Structure 1
């Protein structure tokens, strides 16, 4: 991805080949995997800049998705909102298929903890250490599906991915609906999505309004992307060639453009990502072999046919959040 973005930024003449230090800023969450991912992006792009991260044992509040309001009344509102979503889910078929794939009825967790059927396992919403948590069939299902996806992305032989039990695209879509529902309950439930993402959006707003640099990379987690898109009220979108809404390695790209004809600043937001097959095959993204792209739209910032909305309206959306 780093090589692709380098080529694209040079092609669009946003960056010059000798100006990276002044124009590029790369900021990673202060955990090993995000730091190393950011370093890999910088290396692939050839930017030659250091990756900034907060050198502390405390979690970086910009990326840390925790509730800022910890009053008992508010936390109960959060739990109630999660429970409404949990009660609306209909994932029985996916749960039953997962039961079969992992042979849950004959497992150790069934023998010792009586967790033998995901479809009958109650889902409980709670808040622990200011983090919304769901425990039950949905959370177990999420862990199973996430593990299978990692096996698939890692390029394991298909007969070893989920013991060869996932054979069709339809199965993947059915099973990933479980992991998407888990993320939906945890990160896309209103109104607390804005609370969880407030420090990230505050940081980004400052960048958009005050920064003189040309390219920022914020390297966080899928939770950060889910929260960002939810709290800014992005409309539902489809990523062709992908089973996930927030695929590994994907980038939500906020682009500021200038319309010379009409003398106005514009925003375009794109999801730049690789297909499930591209990730599995280790395809290197480039201008010649580009990643896939989906145009995104947010409420309150109407777009034209090319996906552009007025920059001032975008800033108003940010400030309202």
Structure 2
């Protein structure tokens, strides 16, 4: 219901004197294979794991297809709103990806779906993360690191994860795992979580229960997203939404502890924020797409003081393929530029089912709001207020 009202609302705004002038998107990559984790998942369960016929962390074929559909949807939406026309947009758009294969392939799939073969993907030809997207601390003082550690520990301790760990014990049969036999830790709730932030680290590291739990939940979630048979998703041991929500608390705790300490985010977000700020204030193109990781979205929304939001019908706060969409609108009657920010994403089930989104079957839209940029009844805040926020951060 919400998503249909959102599409109607944007059309209604155009017909009542509002004009879409520019769209800037920060996107997470689409479905990927699980990573090589700090502790091999083979050690965490005696059960056989499903096979992924690709490199760890690589974009899957389904992820590529879903992103292609999302690109087509965005193109159709921008044409409908008269931001772009049906011709090749050329220099009117700019697509920029981090250097990881999953981000580059996601950007390529989106651009092909949206613009065919007439838009080039930009990325730096380096093996490390692009400095714009890399998480690198600039303040190396002991006081700063102590403050970050204290906030990270506070975030971690704010959630009771015992029930989630017990659920994971059951799912993976942790008591019969190789890890249990060698490390003498047979209950994940007793695998002590430690947060370390040393001089040579860009961001805090997590070891122990939360790190192990994150690797398990992440692996299950990617298998579910990619549409694997139920028997290959956590061996068929997750049957209800309640079970998913229970273990997802570990994934959220992992991300919040590592990437959502405000004092840390304001330091590491600077390259990305400066880049985006230049686009917001000086960018001449009509559409910009930046493709990065979930943590980039977490860091940006935290540092800009976005209010707490809930993405309906989604297990994640930064879903696979999800996009924070900054829109610059013009109010002709008041001769004023306005900002609207939405999270555009597919629901958990839309992703698993491989739903082809389009104008008649759109993805989910969730309005976002910043603490110091209050929105009106149409979801707008004054553009100049937004620029003031950027400059103050």
Pair in the same fold by TM > 0.5: yes
Aligned match of 1:266: 338
Q: Does 1:38 align with 2:94?
A: no
SS in 1 for 2:103: helix
Q: Distance in 1 between matches of 2:137 and 2:184?
A: 33
Q: Distance in 2 between matches of 1:69 and 1:199?
A: 14
Normalised TM-score (structure 1): 0.97
Q: Does 1:25 align with 2:94?
A: yes
Q: How does 1:201-220 map to 2 (within 5 A)?
A: 201-220=273-292
Q: Distance in 1 between matches of 2:192 and 2:136?
A: 24
The question of whether the paired residues in 1 share the 8 Å contact of 2:324 and 2:342 is answered with: yes
Q: Distance in 2 between matches of 1:126 and 1:198?
A: 23
SS in 1 for 2:87: coil
Q: Does 1:110 align with 2:180?
A: yes
Aligned match of 1:150: 222
Deviation, 1:302, is: 0.3
Q: Distance in 2 between matches of 1:140 and 1:15?
A: 46
Aligned match of 1:14: 83
Aligned match of 1:257: 329
Deviation, 1:180, is: 0.9
SS in 2 for 1:257: strand
Which residue of 240, 262, 269 corresponds with 1:168?
240
Q: Distance in 2 between matches of 1:243 and 1:131?
A: 25
Higher RCO (CA 8 Å, separation ≥ 6 residues): 2
Q: Distance in 1 between matches of 2:307 and 2:264?
A: 18
The question of whether the paired residues in 2 share the 8 Å contact of 1:70 and 1:130 is answered with: no
Deviation, 1:88, is: 2.5
Deviation, 1:174, is: 1.1
Deviation, 1:89, is: 2.3
Deviates more, 1:178-187 or 1:76-85: 76-85
Which residue of 248, 255, 261 corresponds with 1:183?
255
Aligned match of 1:62: 132
SS in 1 for 2:277: helix
Q: Distance in 1 between matches of 2:146 and 2:202?
A: 12
User: What is the aligned residue count?
Assistant: 321
Deviates more, 1:99-108 or 1:14-23: 14-23
SS in 2 for 1:318: helix
Deviation, 1:19, is: 5.1
Deviation, 1:278, is: 0.7
Deviation, 1:261, is: 1.3
SS in 1 for 2:309: coil
Deviation, 1:111, is: 1.0
SS in 2 for 1:131: coil
Normalised TM-score (structure 2): 0.80
The question of whether the paired residues in 2 share the 8 Å contact of 1:86 and 1:123 is answered with: no
Deviation, 1:168, is: 0.5
Deviation, 1:281, is: 1.0
Deviation, 1:188, is: 1.1
Deviation, 1:46, is: 2.1
Which residue of 287, 293, 303 corresponds with 2:359?
287
Structure 2: state its 5+ residue gaps: 1-69
CA offsets 1:285-305 (integer angstroms, 9 cap, x no match): 111111011000011000011
Which residue of 314, 334, 340 corresponds with 1:242?
314
Which residue of 116, 126, 131 corresponds with 2:196?
126
SS in 1 for 2:359: coil
Aligned match of 2:266: 194
